[in-house]
């Protein structure tokens, strides 16, 4: 059979006979083996493929949003159910809702700050520190003492400003008269400048706060003895002989551990004698208002702080952690968390919020 020769010049240009192939078409398809698609068909295929990609991307986006919403819901539930926080080695519990109740508990120190409505966990703390006489901070005081008696616990020691001591004693006299029961307690009136030893390695000192009625905060110090420099070169037997002879060979070192302000304006930050509160490992303070609807002036008029004032005074805080409390009940947990997230980058201490008792924006 004679061979067939085809001149390349007789073929039309590759562009007209071999248009670009779509994904899925076999390469090197000979034009005479299958019909070629028209330009219109190819445009429709590309449009359809792109639409499919958009639908798939939209589906993924919907799934991602649903997963994010589920995660936010889980976090909200966890916040509602969480009991207490852990900061700088201290477990801190309690409830603090502005105008409703405040009681903050540090079990490892055996102390409670203010008593609110006397939450059950506060009953087992032997030492109670009252900052001021508003009922949301002191209302549960008789119940605290009575419940300890019911459980056969030793009488508590209650520290409070001297200006309210007489009224508190009258309050207990009234309850004794009404209930015909003994209410045993020790009241310690303590004022700014005083120092009281709680136990052999802990002392407390009040500091000045600014509220609409008389108030004060408290700093708890750890206490340790350090050998004086002039005796550092001596050996054990020599130091023992000096000590037996009555020489004081150590200095007492106080380290501020936990400070609690109670209700206050931001003026406490600029008080010269409050430096220890601002360098305690943990500062527990208030941030009643978070938003622009209730601004700084509104907060100050009511003897409270606005979150923005903490940012404005960031340079004064030397604490390792700040625990914020006493948020207004108008806020939800999500509002508080978002506000803290904005605050944290602007402060060096770790910022934590006590949110027990607050509601979530998500239905439970």
Q: What pLDDT does residue 38 have?
A: 66
The pair of structure tokens assigned to 37 is: 């698609």
Tokens of 357: 């008792």
Which pLDDT score is estimated for 229?
Answer: 77
Please give the full DSSP string across 133-158, using - where no structure is assigned: --HHHHTTHHHHHHHHHHTTPPPPEE
Distances (CA, A) of 262 to 133, 180, 215: 11, 33, 8
Both ends of the chain: CA-CA distance in Å? 89
pLDDT at res. 49: 64
Burial state string for 126-143 with b = 16 or more CB within 10 A and e = fewer than 16: bbbbbbbbbebbbbbbbb
Per-residue pLDDT, 44: 65
The whole-angstrom separation of Cα 126 and Cα 112 is 8
Q: Answer whether 331's CB lies under 8 Å from 354's CB.
A: no
3-state secondary structure of 197: strand
pTM, entire model: 0.75
Task: Output the pLDDT for position 58.
Answer: 64
The DSSP H or E segment spanning 121 is none
Structure letter (DSSP) for residue 289: B
Cβ–Cβ under 8 Å, residues 85 and 122: no
Output the CA angle 40-42-45, nearest 5 degrees: 110
d(CA 192, CA 277): 13
For the chain, the residue count is 364
Q: pLDDT digit of tens for each residue in the chain (364 aa)?
A: 444 444 444 444 444 444 454 554 455 444 444 455 566 666 566 566 666 666 666 666 766 666 666 666 565 555 555 578 999 999 999 999 999 999 999 999 999 999 999 999 999 999 999 999 999 999 999 999 999 999 999 999 999 999 999 999 999 999 999 999 999 999 999 999 999 999 889 999 999 999 999 999 999 999 887 777 776 777 778 767 777 787 777 777 899 999 999 999 999 999 999 999 999 999 999 999 999 899 999 999 999 999 999 999 999 999 999 999 999 999 999 999 999 988 888 888 899 999 999 998 876 6
Helix axis angle for 141-150 and 165-179, nearest 10°, is 50
* Alpha carbon 236 to its chain's center: 46
| pLDDT for the residue 361 | 82
Predicted confidence at residue 120, as pLDDT, reads 95
Give the DSSP letter string of 305-341.
Answer: -BHHHHHHTGGG---SEEEEE-EETT--HHHHHHHHH
Helices (H), 207-288: 236-244, 275-279
Q: Residue 284: name the closest of 234, 325, 251 by CA.
A: 325
Could you give the CA distance from residue 203 to residue 222 in angstroms, rounded to a whole number?
Answer: 7
């Amino acid at each position: 059979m004679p061979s067939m020769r085809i001149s390349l010049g007789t073929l039309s240009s590759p562009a007209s006979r071999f248009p670009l192939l779509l994904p899925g078409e076999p390469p090197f398809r000979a034009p005479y083996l299958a019909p070629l698609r028209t330009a219109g068909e190819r445009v429709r295929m590309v449009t359809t493929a792109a639409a499919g990609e958009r639908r798939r991307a939209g589906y993924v986006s919907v799934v991602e949003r649903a997963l994010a919403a589920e995660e936010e819901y889980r976090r909200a539930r966890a916040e509602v159910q969480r009991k207490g926080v852990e900061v700088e080695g201290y477990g801190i519990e309690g409830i603090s809702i502005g105008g409703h109740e405040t009681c903050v508990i540090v079990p490892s120190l055996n102390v409670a700050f203010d008593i609110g409505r006397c939450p059950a966990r506060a009953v087992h703390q032997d030492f109670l520190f009252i900052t001021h006489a508003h009922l949301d901070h002191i209302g549960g005081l008789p119940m605290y003492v009575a419940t300890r008696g019911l459980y056969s616990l030793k009488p508590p020691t209650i520290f409070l400003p001297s200006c309210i001591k007489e009224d508190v004693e009258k309050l207990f006299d009234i309850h004794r008269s009404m209930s015909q029961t003994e209410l045993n307690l020790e009241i310690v009136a303590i004022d700014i400048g005083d120092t009281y030893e709680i136990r052999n390695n802990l002392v407390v000192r009040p500091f000045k706060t600014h509220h609409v009625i008389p108030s004060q905060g408290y700093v708890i110090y750890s206490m340790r003895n350090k050998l004086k420099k002039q005796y550092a070169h001596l050996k054990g037997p020599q130091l023992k002989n000096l000590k037996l002879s009555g020489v004081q060979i150590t200095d007492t070192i106080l380290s501020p551990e936990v400070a609690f302000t109670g209700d206050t304006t931001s003026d406490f930050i600029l008080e010269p004698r409050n430096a220890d509160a601002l360098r305690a490992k943990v500062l527990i303070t208030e941030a009643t208002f978070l938003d622009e609807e209730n601004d700084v002036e509104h907060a100050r008029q009511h003897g409270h702080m606005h979150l923005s004032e903490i940012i404005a005074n960031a340079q004064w805080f030397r604490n390792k952690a700040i625990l914020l409390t006493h948020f207004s009940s108008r806020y939800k947990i999500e509002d508080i968390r978002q506000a803290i997230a904005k605050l944290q980058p602007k402060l060096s201490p770790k910022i934590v919020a006590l949110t027990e008792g607050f509601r979530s924006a998500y239905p439970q």
